[in-house]
Structure 1
């Protein structure tokens, strides 16, 4: 009998939650001809707007905190179990034709902006990897981030337009000091620097980009590289650490 009661309680709670999410979604600014595959999770008291002809697939998770804003343009696609959480008092403004892949996670703790036709593919994880830090993220028009990529936002990351970042990449904006021998190396003080990727650059799969790096316009980073210093515009680099292969 106890199992039966637990089963009933679970499904009643699920029903109540879905009614709550539906109510919160109805209070959002949803455009015309938007396709929604229920259930869709909608939490928080902030402002959420979604443009015409967009699609929310099953179990998309949208959370917008108090006095926060999530503004998404037309023809957006949120694939199943993708997540955007905007913390209170902050904003994420996204242009038209945005795509967020299945199981991708964006945790917004400062003001972010994405241009038009930005694609973030499946299982990407984009947020600060250390508590108490909140870098800004800017992504230009027609830029693409491949599956399973991690972007650490302890400091700012600026990705210009027409940038391609391959799958399984890692962009780290922080490191640790190692001088204090009384603590583990990874528990030392945090040192952070921004990352910038300029217009038309191409970052291959499985690339790691370390703090403070700028990748120049139309530069190419070969797959599997570790980028430790600036990459000049219109060059090809590769290796661990990445070194000049040739100029374009």
Structure 2
């Protein structure tokens, strides 16, 4: 049976009618806009300003930040009132909490550079309505650099996520998870009898 379909019969969702705009805000527009200014000045700021000042500003807008939490420069937080980080956790440079739903980070957790945590997605088969699910990261876990953590994920106690891994669902406590390897596309250098390739 053929799986090909005439392109003209494939539906397109009219994004102007997609529900959910501002659905996840949970605060008046003025608070959201004011937060965007404070985030830019004090949290996302690339300068090596005080980590304590970043935590103070996040708390001012409703974040629950424990004692001794370290925030490196260029942290981004969509909605601080949906961010909960327990004591002594480290947040690396360029980490992005795209938290349209709540993100719970336990104590002594490391989230390394450029990791993206997103709690939101869309009903892609219907109308692109916003769908959100919380993220939970248990104490002692380490999410290494440039990972993507999707909504609904629960990372167990002291689990380790290998670099550049996309994480969804349950990660058992005390386990290392990550990509299973790379695809071998062949030798970089060919023998003298081989034809030259397009990159030579």
Q: TM-score scaled by structure 1?
A: 0.50
Of 132, 136, 140, the match for 1:196: 136
Residues 230 and 108 (structure 1), Cα distance of their counterparts in 2 relative to 1, 3 Å cut:
farther
| 2:114–2:146 CA contact under 8 A, matched in 1 | yes
Structure 1 segments of 4 or more deviating over 3 A? 105-109
| 1:231–1:237 CA contact under 8 A, matched in 2 | yes
Task: Report the equivalent of 1:71.
Answer: none
Deviations 1:81-117 (A, max 9, x none): 4249xxxxxxxxxxxx83639xxx95976x3211111
Identify the structure with the greater helix proportion: 2
> In structure 2, what is the Cα distance between the partners aligned to 1:189 and 1:135?
22
Listed as ranges, the gaps of 5+ residues in structure 1 are 1-43, 45-60, 64-79, 85-96, 129-133, 241-248
Identify the structure with the greater strand proportion: 1
> In structure 1, what is the Cα distance between the partners aligned to 2:136 and 2:95?
16
> In structure 2, what is the Cα distance between the partners aligned to 1:136 and 1:143?
17
| 2:43–2:76 CA contact under 8 A, matched in 1 | no
> In structure 2, what is the Cα distance between the partners aligned to 1:106 and 1:139?
11
Of 46, 53, 64, the match for 1:113: 64
Listed as ranges, the gaps of 5+ residues in structure 2 are 1-29, 31-36, 45-50, 181-200
Paired residues in the alignment total 138
Residues 98 and 176 (structure 1), Cα distance of their counterparts in 2 relative to 1, 3 Å cut:
same
Higher relative contact order at CA 8 Å, sep ≥6: structure 1 or structure 2? 2
